[in-house]
Structure 1
Amino acid sequence: MEKESKPKSSIWVDKGTDFTRVLALSDGVFAIALTLLALELIPAEIDAGRVAQELPGVILGLIPQFLVFALAFYLVIVKWMAHRRIFEHITHYDSTLLWLNNWFLLLIAFMPVPAAILGRYPQEPLALIFFGVAQIITTAVQWLLWGYATRGHRFVDESVDDDTIRFFRNRYLIQIITFVVFTLVALINVWLALGVLFLFYMGIGSQIFTSRQRHKHADSAET
């Protein structure tokens, strides 16, 4: 009597459905990046005999760095929320998807570097351009991650409709275009570039608020 042949197992498991470790690593990287952003707010040492005279100036000098910290913190949080949402739709993975996520995390971990440079030299166009390019590349990798996962419903459930797939894809593309405009405008005027970014995210915020209000009204109408 012939024994039933069992499929051979491999030490290189490159497919799966358990995202526990993937999401734990991702959340850890985001948490570390957010913490590192705040390290730039630590002021320089002041001589003990001159604290009263110099402390007000030191605190005022931290304002540009604090504003950059708030901006970078917000942008990282936006990316974390988007990352959480897309992984709610992704049901399984392969090694390519994992590596795309790893590259995305690498860029998130790098985010404190351009933020620190911008905080120290807020009026230098090159600092703003470097910050903008970092945002473009990071968002582009997130767009690739979503595109790879959803192409032909490769790693998402069939219940995820095309409108949802397009919504996330277009949201990333709009962000990429915005940061390209932001980077180009920085060549002309630093404050105008920051204004472009502020208006864009104010628009995103109002859009999310309006969308939620519509959903609430729709739910109340159904009940």
Structure 2
Amino acid sequence: MEKETERIEAFSDGVFAISVTLLVLELHIPEVKDGNTYTHLLEQLKLQWPGYIAFVISFFSIFIIWVNHHKVFKQIYKRNTGLMFANGLILFLVSLVSFPSALLARFFLTDSKQLSVTIYTGLFVLINLAFNLLWQQATSDKKLLRPGISDAAIRQLRNNYLYGFPTYLAAFVVSFFYPDLALSICVLLWVFWAASSKKINFTETPAL
């Protein structure tokens, strides 16, 4: 079967690449006056540690989203309008990741920490919903999928994203009270997805 989604994938890869690039713009060169010693520079760099954490977390979140996006589109061979709009929603939300990442970097050490984490985790609730919508659109007509994909693989992919929703929602709710814990929940979920995605069997099991 000829693959019809190559342009969608190429455009998506471009959006992911730009989104990752935007993250680094929030890493600022410290303003150190002439004549200051290296210790002054070191102190200024240390003060920016929330920005480094926000960059690392956001980079790997986008990377894992891209990995899952790639795995999904390896199973999608044809397109329809609903699938294209669902994919567009994912890209729209991914392109926004740099904004809450910047909020984390700027306000993590202030009284606005809770709000910045809430906005951050809330965005990933929406991203997960968009992924569920994409896979629902793809599986609503199995003719859109790669020939030979197993029903078990379809269910497992769906369940992976469905499990993500209550987890992200829990992180969002927890962020109102324990923002550090909320971020930890998101990171643990990304580790789970990274570990579990390679265990999915995408081929049909022959009947015995």
Is the Cα–Cα contact under 8 Å of residues 129 and 183 in structure 1 kept in the other structure?
A: yes
What is the count of residue pairs matched by the alignment?
A: 197
Of 133, 157, 160 in structure 2, the residue corresponding to residue 171 of structure 1 is 160
Give the whole-Å Cα distance in 2 for the aligned partners of 1:85 and 1:208.
8
Is the Cα–Cα contact under 8 Å of residues 43 and 62 in structure 1 kept in the other structure?
A: no
Alignment-derived partner of residue 9 in structure 1: none
**Pairing 1:61–2:47 present:** yes
TM superposition shift of 1:17: 4.6
Equivalent position amino acid for 2:59 in 1 = F
Greater shift after overlay, 68-77 or 119-128? 119-128
Q: Deviations over 1:118-173 (max 9, x none)?
A: 11112511100100111110121111011111124151135222211111111112
Of 119, 132, 141 in structure 2, the residue corresponding to residue 130 of structure 1 is 119
Q: TM-score normalised to the size of structure 2?
A: 0.85
Identity among equivalent positions (%) equals 27
Is the Cα–Cα contact under 8 Å of residues 148 and 154 in structure 1 kept in the other structure?
A: no
**After the TM superposition, which residues 96-175 of structure 1 pair with which residues of structure 2 at under 5 Å, given as runs?**
96-123=82-109, 124-175=113-164
Alignment-derived partner of residue 70 in structure 1: 56
**Does the residue aligned with 1:102 lie in a helix, a strand or coil?**
helix
Structure 2 unaligned blocks of 5 or more: 201-208
Structure 1 unaligned blocks of 5 or more: 1-15, 213-223
TM superposition shift of 1:54: 2.5
Is the Cα–Cα contact under 8 Å of residues 114 and 179 in structure 2 kept in the other structure?
A: yes
TM superposition shift of 1:46: 2.2
**Does the residue aligned with 1:25 lie in a helix, a strand or coil?**
helix
Of 179, 182, 194 in structure 2, the residue corresponding to residue 190 of structure 1 is 179
TM superposition shift of 1:49: 2.9
Equivalent position amino acid for 1:62 in 2 = Q
Of 23, 40, 53 in structure 2, the residue corresponding to residue 37 of structure 1 is 23
TM superposition shift of 1:201: 3.6
Alignment-derived partner of residue 82 in structure 1: 68
Q: CA RMSD in A?
A: 2.3
Is the Cα–Cα contact under 8 Å of residues 171 and 182 in structure 2 kept in the other structure?
A: yes
Q: TM-score normalised to the size of structure 1?
A: 0.80
